[in-house]
Structure 1
Amino acid sequence: MKNTVRVAAVQAEPKWLRLAEGVAQVIDLIGAAAGAGARLIAFPETFLPGYPWWCWVDSNQWNVEYSTRARENSMTRDGAEIDAIADAARAHGIHVVLGFGERQERRIYMAQAVIDDYGEIVSVRRKAGLNSVERKVFASGTPNLPAVHHTPIGKYGALSGQENQRPLLTRALRADEEQLHIAAWPGSPDGDAAGPESSTTVSRMYALEAGAFVLAPCVVVGEAAWDGRRGLAGPRTGRAHIYAADGEEVVAPLEEGADGILLADLELGASGIDAQHLDTDRQLRTRKAAAPARRGTRRAVSGWQSGPDRWALPLSLGSYPGGIAAC
Structure 2
Amino acid sequence: MTHVFKAAAVQAAPEFMNIEAGVDKAIALIEQAASQGAAIVAFPECWLPGYPWWLWLSATAHNMKYFQSYHENCIELGDRHCQRLCDAARDNKIMVSMGFSERDHGSLYIAQMLISDDGDILQARRKLKPTHMERTVFGEGDGSDFDVIDCGIARVGQLCCWEHLQPLSKYAMYSMHEQLHIAAWPSFSCYPQAFALGAELNNALSQVYAAEGQCYVLAPCGVISSQMIDMLVENDEQAELISTGGGAAQIFGPDGRPLCTPLSDHEEGLLVADIDLSAITIAKSFADPVGHYSRPDVTRLLLNRQAMTAVADAANETVQVEEVVVEEDS
The two structures have a TM-score, normalised by structure 2, of: 0.79
SS of the aligned residue for 1:83 comes to: helix
Cα gap change, 1:193 to 1:45, in 2 (>3 Å)? farther
Mind listing any 5+ residue stretches in structure 2 that lack a counterpart?
279-302, 310-330
Counterpart of 2:142 in structure 1: which amino acid? T
Does residue 251 in structure 1 map to residue 260 in structure 2? yes
Matches within 5 A, 1:79-118: 79-118=79-118
State the match for 1:157 in structure 2: 157
2:143–2:305 contact (8 Å) kept in structure 1: no
1:226, distance to aligned residue in structure 2 (A): 2.9
User: Bigger CA drift: 186-195 or 8-17?
Assistant: 186-195
For 1:184 and 1:90, locate their aligned partners in 2 and report how far apart those are by CA, in whole Å.
22
User: Bigger CA drift: 147-156 or 84-93?
Assistant: 147-156
For 1:42 and 1:195, locate their aligned partners in 2 and report how far apart those are by CA, in whole Å.
21
2:203–2:248 contact (8 Å) kept in structure 1: no
Counterpart of 1:4 in structure 2: which amino acid? V
1:211 maps to which of 208, 214, 217: 214
Cα gap change, 1:19 to 1:195, in 2 (>3 Å)? closer
1:222–1:237 contact (8 Å) kept in structure 2: no
Cα gap change, 1:24 to 1:145, in 2 (>3 Å)? closer
1:59, distance to aligned residue in structure 2 (A): 4.0
Mind listing any 5+ residue stretches in structure 1 that lack a counterpart?
270-315, 323-327
1:317, distance to aligned residue in structure 2 (A): 7.7
Counterpart of 1:10 in structure 2: which amino acid? V
SS of the aligned residue for 1:99 comes to: strand
Matches within 5 A, 1:117-132: 117-132=117-132
Identity %: 36
The CA deviation string for residues 294-325 of structure 1, in whole angstroms up to 9 with x for no partner, is xxxxxxxxxxxxxxxxxxxxxx9855276xxx
State the match for 1:202 in structure 2: 205
For 1:200 and 1:60, locate their aligned partners in 2 and report how far apart those are by CA, in whole Å.
29
User: Bigger CA drift: 230-239 or 47-56?
Assistant: 230-239
State the match for 1:20 in structure 2: 20
For 1:60 and 1:103, locate their aligned partners in 2 and report how far apart those are by CA, in whole Å.
19
Counterpart of 1:187 in structure 2: which amino acid? S
Matches within 5 A, 1:21-60: 21-60=21-60
For 1:150 and 1:211, locate their aligned partners in 2 and report how far apart those are by CA, in whole Å.
17
1:141, distance to aligned residue in structure 2 (A): 2.3
1:142, distance to aligned residue in structure 2 (A): 2.8
The CA deviation string for residues 244-291 of structure 1, in whole angstroms up to 9 with x for no partner, is 12211112111222011111111138xxxxxxxxxxxxxxxxxxxxxx
For 1:193 and 1:14, locate their aligned partners in 2 and report how far apart those are by CA, in whole Å.
24
Cα gap change, 1:235 to 1:127, in 2 (>3 Å)? closer
Q: How many residue pairs were aligned? A: 277
1:61, distance to aligned residue in structure 2 (A): 5.0
For 1:131 and 1:173, locate their aligned partners in 2 and report how far apart those are by CA, in whole Å.
19
1:145–1:317 contact (8 Å) kept in structure 2: no
Counterpart of 2:75 in structure 1: which amino acid? M
Does residue 226 in structure 1 map to residue 229 in structure 2? yes
1:48, distance to aligned residue in structure 2 (A): 0.5
For 1:261 and 1:117, locate their aligned partners in 2 and report how far apart those are by CA, in whole Å.
19
The CA deviation string for residues 122-149 of structure 1, in whole angstroms up to 9 with x for no partner, is 1111112112300121122234351111
SS of the aligned residue for 1:34 comes to: helix
